[in-house]
Amino acid sequence: MKKKLLDKLNIPLACKINRKLFKKQFIENFSLNANEKKIISEDVENITLEYLLNKDKINIAPFSDKENDYSEIAFIRVELLAPQRLKKLANIIQNIPYPLIVVFADENKICINISSKRINKNDSSKLVVEESFFTEWIDLDNSSKIEQEFLESLEIKNHPFTNFFEFYNSYLDKLLAFNASCYSGNLVQSEDTKELLSEIQEIETSISETVSKIKKETDIRAKVNLNIELKKLNEKLENLKTKLQG
């Protein structure tokens, strides 16, 4: 049997949990609507808590302040029956009250989800997701050189043991660098990588919307104006991509 990605991270065996989380637990313990319950029931084969890192099991200090609680971190594996509603499914999985690193598996392909969380101001015992980030699907049987480098960068030795907040954000930085690599061609991350990726995503959405409007527009003048707008958006997109290339 092929060694699972999470086991290749060389996390200490003391942190190994390998506990199956039943779909029923999510349906009964979290306030899910009918559609979310359907997603859990239909799209998921197995959910496993693979590793739980805390100060008793690994030499990393907990971190907490008014907005953050990084006392421990969980690594979760989700085996899928269907990947089409992945982001909605990730929102459900992220109800688990720890900072999570989630590996979604669809046969031989994986997608990694990391979501930064903050303390809920109305209930300090709960964490709420601030932002959620995903890699593209990676085919483990046919991965590119840069995909292999990214997966190797996830090994635990490549992350700071200062505290769990820095440890977790180091994983997020690696994910962002990987997402930027399709433009930059490398895994080097700058201070503004996150912001540039966000801007690129927004502009790509605007480009798609503008192209759709152009196809539907019947007025010639309006169509010309939309094409001018599209040209400006494409120029802005190329400038942002150039910035990511350094």
Residue with tokens 């421990």: 72
pLDDT at residue number 1:
37
What are the residue boundaries of the structural domains of the chain, listed by start?
5-184, 193-244
Regarding predicted confidence, which is higher, 188 or 50? 50
Distance, CA of 177 to CA of 150 (rounded, Å): 9
Overall average pLDDT of the 64-68 stretch: 90
Overall average pLDDT of the 193-219 stretch: 93
pLDDT at residue number 125:
62
Contact 230, 211 (CB under 8 A): yes
pTM score of the predicted model: 0.86
Overall average pLDDT of the 135-157 stretch: 95
Distance, CA of 72 to CA of 144 (rounded, Å): 32
Q: Among residues 75, 55, 43, which one has the least CA distance to residue 154? A: 75
Reported as a single tens digit per residue, the pLDDT across 5-18 is 899 999 999 999 99
Reported as a single tens digit per residue, the pLDDT across 169-205 is 999 999 999 999 988 888 887 788 888 998 998 999 9
Confidence of residue 37 (pLDDT cuts 50, 70, 90): very high
pLDDT at residue number 94:
92
Distance, CA of 15 to CA of 151 (rounded, Å): 20
pLDDT at residue number 246:
64
pLDDT at residue number 225:
95
Regarding predicted confidence, which is higher, 20 or 243? 20
Overall average pLDDT of the 89-98 stretch: 91
Query: What integer best gives the mean pLDDT of the chain?
Result: 92
